[in-house]
Amino acid sequence: MPQQVKSGGTLKEARSKSGFSLIELAVVLAIIGILASISYPSYLHQVARSTMTEGRLYLEVLAALQAQSRLENGRFLLLEDLLDKASPSSRMAKSFEVSQTLSPDFLRFRILLVPKAGKDLLGPMTLDNWGQFHSDYAW
């Protein structure tokens, strides 16, 4: 025989009407907010680090294409020709501007990736024909 509650329903029916209080929900939301505010800067740093890594790899691809052109043609390519062979990914195009300095005899180059405006966590990177990479970014 089921136990009766004074209101006329069973004990099971009385328990099903209970839920979370407003205070409990507020505490859970506060904890979630604190955890999000702690983890967000770390997330931004990881995104910037992966973007910088992708930028460095892109510089190395461009330098490899330049080395191939030097072997085949005896000179390095202009930036327009270089970008035709290896266009930047959409993420690179949104994050960096590509420029290149060529010597007058087309035998030396330096490729530069500069962060676009508003990309405060990123830093400029350069790579030259000797394979010397330079960046102020703290890897």
**In the prediction, which pLDDT does 21 show?**
92
DSSP structure class, residue 4: B
**In the prediction, which pLDDT does 5 show?**
54
Question: Is the full-model pTM beyond 0.95?
Answer: no
**In the prediction, which pLDDT does 116 show?**
94
- Whether 96 and 117 have beta carbons less than 8 Å apart is answered as no
Q: What is the block-wise mean pLDDT of the chain (139 residues), using blocks of 10 residues?
A: 56 65 94 95 93 96 96 94 96 96 94 90 95 89
Which 3-state string (H, E, C) describes 41-60? HHHHHHHHHHHHHHHHHHHH
CA distances from residue 81 to 14, 35, 67, 85 in whole angstroms, order as listed: 77, 48, 14, 7
**In the prediction, which pLDDT does 12 show?**
59
**In the prediction, which pLDDT does 92 show?**
95
**In the prediction, which pLDDT does 20 show?**
85
Query: What would be the CATH architecture of the domain defined by 20-135?
Result: 2-Layer Sandwich (3.30)
